[in-house]
Amino acid sequence: MATNPYTSQSISGFNANPPPDNDTTGSDNQVEWQKHLDKLATPVKDLSEGIDTAALSMGGKVINTDAGEANTLGGTIAYTTSELTISGGSITPTATNHSVDTEADAGTDDLNTLATGSVNDRAVVMIRAENAARVVTVVNAAGNINLQDNSDVVLDVEVPLVLQRNGSNWEEISRPTQTDTWTPVIAGAGTAGTQTYTTQAGTFTKIGNMVFASFTILLSAFDAATAGNIIITGLPVAAATITVTGAVAYSGTVGNHSVIDLDVAGGYYQLGFSIQGGTSILDVQEMGDTVATANITEADLGATTRITGSIMYQV
């Protein structure tokens, strides 16, 4: 809890038992100011001076909300958290920091709207997931929430999504970094087939509208029913559709590979892959200096094919 900067003052030096008058009309009982001070001291003066000093000290420890004032905070600010439960896709924030739970503790729920009646315009609100097992997705433009790059956000239990009220809407200021795993799958574009894996692992990090994904695949058996250009599926986030110099694709880097039959005689000596805008599918390709990029097909893979790679793309 915050410390109150004001120090309470109390009367001191008050003589509650001054010497009595001696019932004479002598000089001992003459009304003289110094004798009053000797008997009563100056408690009112001392108290008022103490209040003045404490108030001046307190004034240096509070936020001045007047226009044009520059406040400097030497300590920290901690916001208490209160839980809100989604009802019909909406919550009503009443404070700066809220955790958000699904309606009726459902496994998943969408948050489309934040009410604006309980907070001032330009107020900032931080929201995070109440429970990691119950997934809350904040949906862009389904209600009055406008998110960066029109990209939905899955709330994190630790790092909040920060929103600012703008009239009747809420605008995203910042979002949590999303880090998770994914399962890469080798398939044929014509007939997917069912491969057998020794290693099948992937990780991805989503920061704002950028995704950084990596993977490792090692087969122990290749399905002969697989047909067509070889693709890798399983990415959890689709790439944005952005046209750059006439092409719509993001290229990835292969760290290492083995048991893949590149057409070396045809001038191909490098393996790579790309993701087409609007999809979450990686096209596996071979490249060379003076030849056009070509797709790898099922005929180029073997029972123990290995591919390790990474890609960065916009969503």
Q: What confidence tens digit (pLDDT) does each residue in 270-312 have? A: 999 999 888 899 999 999 989 999 999 999 999 999 999 999 9
Q: How far apart are CA 23 and CA 293, in angstroms?
A: 120
Please return the burial class of 41, using the count of CB atoms within 10 Å of its CB with bins 0-12, 13-18 and 19+: middle
Are the CB atoms for 129 and 136 separated by under 8 Å? yes
Does residue 222 or residue 43 have the better pLDDT?
A: 222
- Flag the least confident range among 25-34, 108-117, 122-131, 134-143: 25-34
- Whether 96 shows a pLDDT value over 70: the answer reads yes
> How large is the average pLDDT for residues 108-112?
97
The SS3 call for residue 182 is: strand
Q: What is the DSSP letter of 300?
A: G
With a pLDDT cut of 90, the percent of the chain lying above it is 58
The residue that leads in pLDDT, 309 or 77, is 309
d(CA 154, CA 137): 4
Element (H, E) at 45: helix 43-59
* Residue whose tokens read 């995203």: 172
Task: Evaluate if residue 265 carries a pLDDT over 70.
Answer: yes
Distances 17 to 13, 14, 274, 290 between C-alpha atoms, Å: 11, 9, 94, 109
State mean pLDDT over 134-138.
Answer: 95
- Average the pLDDT over each of 111-115, 151-155, 229-233, 270-274 and give the range with the smallest value: 151-155
Give the residue with greater pLDDT, 34 vs 78.
Answer: 78
Tell me what pLDDT residue 59 has: 67
Quick one: pLDDT band at residue 143, thresholds 50, 70, 90?
A: very high
- When mean pLDDT is compared over 54-68, 129-143, 147-161, 264-278, the highest value belongs to 129-143
Question: Residue 21 pLDDT > 90, yes or no?
Answer: no
Between 314 and 96, the more confident residue is: 96
pLDDT of residue 226: 97
* Predicted confidence band of residue 1 (pLDDT cuts 50, 70, 90): very low
**Average pLDDT over the chain, rounded to whole?**
87
